[in-house]
Amino acid sequence: MIVIHSEEHRLQAGRSELNDGQLVPCYEKPARADIVRARIEAIGLGPIMEPTRHGITPLERVHDTGYLGFLQTAWDEWVVEHGADIDALPLNWVAPGMSRRRVPRSIDGRLGYYSFDAGTPITAGTWRAATAAADSALTGAARLRAGDRSAFALCRPPGHHAGRAFYGGYCFLNNAAIAAQSLRDGGAGRVAVLDVDYHHGNGTQEIFWERGDVLFVSIHADPTDEFPYFCGHADETGAGAGEGANLNLTLPWGTDWSIYAQALAAAAERIRDFGADALVLSLGADTYGGDPISRFRLLSEDFLRMGAAIAGIGLPTLFVMEGGYAVDDLGVNVANVLTGFEQG
């Protein structure tokens, strides 16, 4: 399996995030990608290549141009107002009854306008790291179009929480959605996106909400209890042309493999029924029992079973890295999914 990865991920290295009422060191950090790459190299999963640069056009197929412009200039504008000694974090957000008709002029206002949490710092290297991650996903999609059975885009920062015109949850550009759109533009009639991250892929859902050509299926912790809280419920099925093309499979805290496997089987059945030509797999490994910010109980060996089940769907598959914050075990867990797929 070809692995696509850029060392420019290191340019996104936030100092702190707001969590549990205090500023703490960022859980989303360069060591995450480093340990996954090290494990892939140790087991000889496949060659590792740098991504091809694709420019901004594929990003504009998914994201709002004003939002992309904001991401490109946000750090420089923040430095003018606040200096470079602290990361850019938002101060306030739009609440019900407040208007989003005008984009604020102030950088502080625009941070709140385009974000939904205070856990996703913008730094000097955010734009370069995020675009390198998107290029990794796009390069993986190109491998599938060229006939590869599978590819792994080792993206960092992750992407599934980023919507058409918002960021949050450590995500700036929606790598999986960008790849799915690229596959559609490259000739795939239908594409499925399966998100196995512990947290709901709210950004991916928002991007494809009214699309009938891209199926989005997410297996995640019940948002009644868990981030991102305000979407990801089972009764959210899409709208307009996308009605029925969105499936949320919500699971309770404490879910182990016996419960998770049933949801994964249901997801696989829905994807087969959809008749997709390719599958984009948002691979979050924060379903692991040892993850510090999640509450499922999957074991490392369960990720082998997960990979085999995904292989059983029988589609060309692009794996796109998302979450997973138990850094010491992350490499083994991610590699187990890919190994299970290869052996499946």
Catalytic residues: 161
| Distances from the Cα of 25 to the Cα of 93, 263, 323, angstroms | 23, 33, 16
Count how many Cα atoms sit within 13 Å of the Cα of residue 16 in the half-sphere of its side chain.
Answer: 10
Residue among 154, 249, 155, 237 at smallest CA distance from 198 = 249
Are 134 and 203 in contact by the 8 Å Cβ rule? The answer is: no
DSSP summary character for residue 115:
B
What angle do helix axes 300-311 and 327-343 make, rounded to 10 degrees?
30
Query: Partners of 246 in the beta sheet?
Result: 216
Are 300 and 7 in contact by the 8 Å Cβ rule? The answer is: no
Sequence-separated (6 or more) residues with CB below 8 Å from residue 313: 268, 271, 272, 279
| Spatial distance between the Cα atoms of 111 and 90, rounded to a whole number of angstroms | 5
